[in-house]
């Protein structure tokens, strides 16, 4: 057993101006020292009184930090002997923070789980776009995970969340599909559904859509659609001399020969396919359909539904690189059009 005193290599640098509570600064610092090998399993932490006196902090603040580490399993407490680094915390914990489970987020989880080895444990937090719940979760678990992966496409108020995110060291935060702000610029990021990527996939595949006289962009309340996508869609149609409309449901228009639909909601996709069958129109020949997001059944419906999709494998590869190398990275993943029978 080593009994460590505070040295230049193992010390608490408390930032009095930080929005992160002092007890979390202490807990995060010890966690970093465990990962860096400064603290080894079996090492005894300086006592609560020693830490309190050394850095002129309230005893309750240090006690709260040690309790946090004890609850997360990073340290154990031995009666009248103190707090000791535990053996089992070689497992690095990753928290994926999703608004809800979608085809993309599930694919990212499955792919990342298969890529990280057994020294990593992945948990999922579903906040269902409840900011208060997410802030509370971040407050309680800021010291429990080595990395926090935040899929924030629907948290375009992410700057409003900076108080919650500020409780986590920048090197532990990874934002996916976030709007870059000053508050997030110091963190790693992976983006794929920004307006530039949507614009690029449309113009790159312009000839696919030019055989249709009208394209309907069918929006939905069940998926998050960036506002800029509507602008880019209308601009793309104008520059390619296409008639274009944004509608809330395919039921608003008559399905006729020579039109195409871009759909997000799977219920809308099924409705269109059924309508084509009733009218004896052939999908891909008379009417075009492209869906957002891929799944196995879309490969089978009507001979195959064309999709605009996120390269979730590339997203997971980038996540694995950021997590295992523990280096800040900013990555852009282009969107893909997978052309099948429906176009």
Predicted confidence at residue 340, as pLDDT, reads 95
Considering the entire predicted model, what is its pTM? 0.72
C-alpha distances out from residue 249 to 216, 224, 263, 272, Å: 10, 16, 9, 10
Whether residues 150 and 179 share a domain: the answer is: yes
Predicted confidence at residue 333, as pLDDT, reads 94
Give the three-state DSSP class for 33.
helix
Asked if 305 contacts 263 with a C-beta cutoff of 8 angstroms, the reply is no
Spatial distance between the Cα atoms of 174 and 22, rounded to a whole number of angstroms: 23
Predicted confidence at residue 70, as pLDDT, reads 87
Owning domain of residue 120: 92-191+312-332
Whether residues 48 and 178 share a domain: the answer is: no
Asked if 247 contacts 218 with a C-beta cutoff of 8 angstroms, the reply is yes
> Which of residues 85, 104, 124 is at a domain's end?
85
3 domain-assigned: no
CATH classification at residue 73: 1.10.10.10
**How many Cβ atoms sit within 10 Å of the Cβ of residue 285?**
10
CATH classification at residue 253: 3.40.50.2300
Spatial distance between the Cα atoms of 196 and 77, rounded to a whole number of angstroms: 53
Whether residues 55 and 120 share a domain: the answer is: no
Whether residues 62 and 156 share a domain: the answer is: no
Asked if 198 contacts 224 with a C-beta cutoff of 8 angstroms, the reply is no
Spatial distance between the Cα atoms of 23 and 29, rounded to a whole number of angstroms: 10
List the chain residues with pLDDT less than 50.
Answer: 5-11, 156
Asked if 174 contacts 150 with a C-beta cutoff of 8 angstroms, the reply is yes
Whether residues 185 and 202 share a domain: the answer is: no
The H-assigned helical ranges of the chain are 22-35, 48-54, 59-71, 103-115, 131-141, 162-165, 195-204, 206-209, 227-239, 266-278, 296-300, 312-325
Whether residues 111 and 200 share a domain: the answer is: no
Spatial distance between the Cα atoms of 52 and 137, rounded to a whole number of angstroms: 27
Whether residues 140 and 184 share a domain: the answer is: yes
Predicted confidence at residue 313, as pLDDT, reads 92
Predicted confidence at residue 182, as pLDDT, reads 56
Whether residues 99 and 123 share a domain: the answer is: yes
1 domain-assigned: no
Predicted confidence at residue 132, as pLDDT, reads 81
> How many structural domains does the chain have?
3
Whether residues 153 and 287 share a domain: the answer is: no
Predicted confidence at residue 253, as pLDDT, reads 93
> Which of residues 85, 108, 133 is at a domain's end?
85
Whether residues 262 and 231 share a domain: the answer is: yes
**How many Cβ atoms sit within 10 Å of the Cβ of residue 90?**
10
Token pair for 133: 């719940």
Asked if 50 contacts 57 with a C-beta cutoff of 8 angstroms, the reply is no
């Amino acid at each position: 057993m080593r009994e460590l005193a505070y040295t230049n290599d193992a010390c608490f640098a408390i930032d009095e101006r930080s929005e992160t509570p002092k007890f979390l600064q202490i807990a995060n610092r010890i966690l970093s020292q465990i990962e860096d090998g400064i603290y080894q399993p079996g090492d005894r932490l300086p006592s609560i009184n020693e830490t309190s006196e050394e850095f002129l902090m309230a005893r309750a603040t240090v006690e709260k930090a040690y309790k946090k580490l004890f609850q997360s399993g990073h340290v154990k407490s031995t009666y009248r002997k103190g707090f000791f680094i535990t053996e089992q915390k070689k497992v690095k914990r990753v928290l994926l923070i999703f608004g809800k489970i979608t085809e993309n987020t599930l694919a990212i989880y499955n792919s990342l789980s298969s890529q990280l080895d057994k020294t990593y444990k992945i948990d999922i937090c579903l906040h269902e776009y409840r900011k208060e719940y997410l802030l509370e979760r971040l407050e309680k678990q800021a010291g429990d995970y080595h990395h926090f992966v935040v899929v924030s496409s629907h948290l375009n108020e992410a700057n409003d969340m900076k108080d919650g995110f500020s409780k986590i060291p920048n090197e532990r935060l990874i934002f996916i599909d976030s709007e870059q702000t000053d508050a997030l610029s110091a963190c790693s990021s992976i983006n794929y559904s920004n307006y530039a990527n949507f614009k690029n996939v449309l113009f790159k595949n312009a000839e696919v859509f030019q055989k249709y006289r009208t394209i309907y962009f069918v929006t939905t309340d069940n998926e998050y659609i960036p506002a800029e996508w509507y602008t880019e869609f209308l601009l793309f149609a104008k520059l390619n001399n296409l008639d274009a409309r944004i509608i809330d449901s395919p039921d608003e228009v008559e399905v006729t020969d020579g039109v195409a639909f871009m759909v997000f909601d799977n219920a809308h996709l099924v409705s269109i396919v059924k309508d084509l069958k009733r009218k004896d129109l052939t999908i891909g020949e008379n009417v075009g359909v492209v869906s957002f997001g891929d799944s196995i059944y879309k490969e089978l419906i009507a001979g195959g539904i064309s999709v605009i999709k996120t390269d979730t494998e590339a997203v997971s590869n980038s996540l694995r690189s950021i997590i295992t190398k523990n280096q800040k990275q900013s990555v852009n993943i282009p969107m893909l059009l997978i052309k099948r029978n429906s176009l």
